[in-house]
Every structure is written in structure tokens, then in C-alpha cells.
Amino acid sequence: MSETITVNGVSQPLPDDVRVSLLDFLRQHLGLTGTKKGCDHGQCGACTVLVDGFRINSCLTLAAMHADQEVTTIEGLGTPEDPSALQRAFVEHDAFQCGYCTPGQICSATALLEEIRSEWPSDASDDLAAPTLTDEEIRERMSGNLCRCGAYANILAAIRQVAEEDA
Amino acid sequence: MRPFDYIRATDPTDAAERTSAPGAMAIAGGTNLIDLMKLQVETPDTLVDVGRLDMGSIEEAGDGLRIGALVTNTATAVHPKVRADYPVLARAILAGATQQLRNKATTAGNLCQRTRCTYFTNIDQPCNKRAPGSGCGAMGGVARLHAILGTSDQCIATYPGDMAVAMAALDAHVHIQGGRGGDRQVPVREFHRLPGETPWQDNVLESGEIITAVTLPLPVKGKQIYRKVRERSSYAFALVSIAAIVAMDGGRIARADLAFGGLAHKPWHDPRLADLLVGEAPSPALFEKAADVLLDEADARGGSEFKIPLARRTLTAVLTEATETRT
């Protein structure tokens, strides 16, 4: 297949084997091992990436389905020298223990901030037309990202801080 | 994952034709299908990607709202018109899955998603839905997510979704293209099947047919509620869910469109409930009578006996809230 996909701004040829998931393509073909494989069944969220700005589980989609689309992984959000606001806040709040779920958490939260800016409602919203930013909202919106170490309180604090800076 | 061919359909007619080939399946968001392919529950020879077809918009039609087959669950739930006029649908979608999954999941794919019965998804277990004639592991097994209404000796699986439950309450219609009968419309209430003797048939879609859209009727007056009871507060399938559109007029119930999730092989709609409720003054006794009607043939085979009282209590709670009845 001569089709391409753009990952973190760089155009890449799609794999020949159509079975390759977007997750395996990122990790094994491109060496972008920031994106993690947890459950490989869309339950844990460790594989969360952004496709054309929307957060998805990269384990539950084929790379071939994303020809001509733009993928952003944790490597595309910031660098150790120049971290994103969320990456900095996660460090500041100690929002992890083992760190395995962290790239997925940060990709997910990056999209969450945009969704809140767009006033998208969630299951926790009292008012579908104008959701307000509460801890309950952030918890609900992050329910697709599990943390086996249980760093949820600090993850919440990190996201809340950036969301408030944003507002 | 077993090897397969991957092709992209060029238009709905092409998609209908290509998916009519033996072993061919349509894929759009893929969140359910790819999961089942990894488990080898589904082993298609050919995947026909319909994801780029021009069926991804929501349009106001003269007689309601037309939601394209490929509109994502997210796009439907955040659409201003859906939020304002069909809040039961927005609420139902937001109560399902996670933001990551809703961003991928489509209208048509959500309607066609398979049961989450763990005997269906485990190829080492007997399952009449996955392997016809092999038996049912869920009956007498661990079956908390299973049906209590409309079951058969072959299957006690539930339809797992939330979106279609709201669409059933709203009396939405599924638009289908292709197939021997040409284009047709099927009410969501009749789209999914009961298991009967052919539990492998989840719905009435035939080989070579493609869903193109779902249409919602004109907005109706009344209170719209989606109540979902589950084992954790987010990202879990319904034990019992209720979509309700209830209107009052002069202290009496003027409209009571109810549909139930988690209870059956399809979003459950029982026309006897509206017959019983409409024209009556709301009261706890009336709500108990409605629950009697809903559950008169309830039958739990497995571990889901608890769903019978749970469905009763959830129904009375929803009707109490919808009619603002003091208890």
C-alpha cells in the first residue's frame, strides 16, 4: 500500500499488513513507544492518541483505516525540554506512580481540555447546554483511562489546575 | 488476528454489494468488530471499510432530524438540536462507553454492536449465538448482564447499547439501502430481534443491506429522562436502563413512551405500558401496576434474578421523577 499517515507532523507509509493496529504501528513500526499497550481491548485507555484532534483508543483501530489522517502521540505533545502545560502539571502534582498509564492520561486530558472549551456535555453534566467544570465532570470525562497505581487524586488535581489556567 | 482483505467502499451501493459476498463484513468505527476479531469471535475474510462514505452529517428534515449512519456518537450527543430537543438521546449516548469510544463509534455501528455476554466473547465456551447448536453457557452460569424478558431456550443475551434504547422511546426509524427488497425503513423498535430459535440473528438487517441513516420524529413535548443503573458509575453496561418521554396534561399522564435497556435481546418496548398509563393520574399504585405489566413474564435463568426487583424500582423511580409525583 502506497498510502500515508501523518504522525506528529511527519508523513509515514502505512504498513503492508492490514491487520496492524494503529497502536502496533506506532510502537513497532515507528518506534514511538510512548503510547502504551495495556489491555489491547479498549478498556484501559493506555493507548489513547489523538486522531485529527479527537482522542481514540489506538488498539481498537487499524492503521489502514487512518490513511491521510493526522495522529498525535505523547511524543508530539511536548519534550523533556519543552513539556506541555499538562505534562508539567502531572510532574508538579506527582500524578503517577509507575507511569505506564501516564501517556494515555495526558493525551486523553489534552483532548478533554478542548472538549470543555467547546462546551461539550458529559454524563456528569447537570445542564446539557452549558456544562460547568467540576471534579465530578473531570472524573467522568477521564473514565476511559485506568490507573492501576490509583494516582487518581493527583491526576485530577493536575488536570484541574491546567483547566483553570485555561479558563 | 486471522488474515483478511481490506477494501474501501466507494458509495453505499458499492458497500451493499461488497458486503453481500460470503465472509465480508462492513467496518466503520470498528471498536466492537476489531475487539471481536482479536478474540476470533469474528473471523471475516474481507473487511469493507465504509467509514469514508458520505453519511456523516446531521440534517434537519421537514419531519424531524436525520442522523447519518456514520455520524459519531460524540457528534450526535453534542449536536445543539439533539441536546435541546432530544435530550433523552444525548443523555443515553453520554451514559455509554468512554469519550475515546464515542469519538469512534457510529450510529449504524452502535445499532449493530454485538452482545457483551462473556460466553459469546469466549470461544472456549458454548454459545448458540456464536456457534449455532453448541449450547448456551450463560444459562446456569455467571449471568448478571443477562436478559429477563423475551428470552428463549437458545439464548439469554442482552442487546448492550444505550443509544438504541433512547431511539426506541423516541420511535426513530432506521433507513436501509440495498438488498433484494430495495430501500426500506424499519422502526428502531422492530430493528433488533428476539433470540427465538435463531439467536445468531441480532437484527433484521440482511446480507447486502447497509444502514444509511436514522431519523428522529419531530420533537415532542414532555419530560425526557434516561436512567441507567450499572455496577460502577461510569464505563459499564446497563443492568437496567430506561428511556422515558412523559408528558402531563391537567394532572393526568398524556404521554408515556418508555423503552428499556439491559432486560432483553433488544431495546424493550411494551405498548401495554402507554395503554395503562395514559389518561391516568400518576400515583405510586399506578406505577406498581405498570411494573406488574412490564414484568408479568419476567424469567431469570442464570444469576440475574436481582434484575426483576431492580427493573421494578427503576421504573417507579423514573415515573415518579417524570410526573413529579410526591411519594
**Could you give the strand order of the β-sheet that contains A4-7, starting from the edge strand earlier in sequence?**
A10-13, A4-7, A70-72, A48-51, A54-57
User: pLDDT confidence of B115, banded at 50, 70, 90?
Assistant: very high
| Domains of chain A, CATH where assigned | 4-77 (3.10.20.30), 85-166 (1.10.150.120)
Question: Looking at chain A, which residue has its C-alpha nearest residue B79?
Answer: A120
Question: CA-to-CA distance for B134 and B126, rounded, in angstroms?
Answer: 5
Structure confidence by residue, pLDDT tens digits, A18-49: 999 999 999 999 999 999 999 999 999 999 99
Q: Which among B4, B5, B99 has the least Cβ separation from residue A55?
A: B99
* pLDDT tens, residue by residue, B58-107: 999 888 999 999 999 999 999 999 999 999 999 999 999 999 999 999 99
Residue B117 counted as domain residue: no
> Which of the four pLDDT bands, split at 50, 70 and 90, describes residue B181?
low
Does residue B282 fall inside a structural domain?
yes
- Cβ of A143 and B91 within 8 Å? no
Neighbours of A4 (CB within 10 A): 14
Question: Which helix (DSSP H) or strand (DSSP E) does residue A7 occupy?
Answer: strand A4-7
Q: Does A62 touch chain B (CB under 8 A)?
A: yes
Whichever domain contains B38, its CATH number is: 3.30.43
Residue of chain A with shortest Cα separation from B36: A41
Q: How many domains, chain B?
A: 2
Å between B110 CA and nearest CA of chain A: 15
A86–B contact, CB cutoff 8 A: no
Q: Which residues of B fall within a CB distance of 8 Å from A60? A: 30-31, 34-35, 101, 104
pLDDT of residue A1: 47
| Domain residue limits at B282 | 223-323
* CA angle A117–A44–B115, rounded 5-degree value: 100
Above pLDDT 70, what percent of chain B? Answer: 99
Chain A residues with CB under 8 Å of B75 CB are none
In this prediction, the residues of chain A whose per-residue pLDDT falls under 50 are 1
Please indicate, yes or no, if residue B71 is contained in any of the structural domains: no
User: Which pLDDT belongs to residue B63?
Assistant: 83
Instruction: For chain B, say whether A45 makes contact (Cβ under 8 Å).
Output: yes
In a domain, B210, yes or no: no
* A49–chain B Cβ distance below 8 A for any pair: no
Can you give the pLDDT at residue B144?
Answer: 86
Element (H, E) at A153: helix A152-166
**Given CB atoms, is B236 within the 8 Å cutoff of chain A?**
no
Which residue has cell 428502531? B188
Q: Give residue-wise pLDDT tens across range B201-225.
A: 999 999 999 999 999 999 999 999 9
In a domain, B287, yes or no: yes
Residue B9 lies in a domain: yes
- Expressed in angstroms, the distance from the first to the final Cα of chain B is 55
Residue B315 in this model has a pLDDT that exceeds 60: yes
Cβ separation A42–B100 shorter than 8 A = yes
CATH of the domain at B252: 3.30.390.50
pLDDT of residue B143: 84
- Straight-line distance from the first to the last Cα atom of chain A, in angstroms, rounded to the nearest whole number: 44
- Between CA B245 and CA B259 the distance in angstroms is 9
Q: Report chain B's C-alpha Rg in angstroms.
A: 20
Closest residue in A to B101 (Cα–Cα): A56
How many whole angstroms separate alpha carbon B211 and alpha carbon B196?
24
Structure confidence at residue B142 (pLDDT):
87
**Cβ-nearest to A144 among B6, B78, B100:** B100
CA atoms of B73 and B87, how far apart (whole Å) = 14
Average pLDDT over all residues of chain B: 96
Question: Does ipTM top 0.85?
Answer: yes
Tell me if chain B has a CB within 8 Å of the CB of A2: no
B21 found inside a domain: yes
Averaged pLDDT for residues B97-122? 98
Residue B43, min C-alpha distance to chain A (Å): 12
Nearest CA in chain B to A145: B98
pLDDT at B147: 97
Among the partner residues A40, A45, A118, nearest to B100 by beta-carbon distance: A45
Average pLDDT for B223-252: 97
Contact A144 B103 (CB under 8 A): no
Asked if B34 reaches chain A (Cβ–Cβ under 8 Å), the answer is yes
B108 lies in some domain: no
Residue B179 has pLDDT above 70, yes or no: no
Question: Contact A65/B104, CB-based, under 8 Å?
Answer: no
Which residues on chain B are in Cβ contact (under 8 Å) with A125? 94
Q: CB distance B100–A143 less than 8 Å?
A: no
Q: For residue A36, what are the β-bridge partners?
A: none
pLDDT at B290 > cutoff 70: yes
Query: Which residues are bridge partners to B248 per DSSP?
Result: B253
Q: What does the pLDDT read at residue B77?
A: 98
C-alpha cell at B130: 456464536
* For residues B5-29, average pLDDT: 95
Q: What is the dihedral of CA A75, A80, A81, A83, to 10 degrees?
A: 70
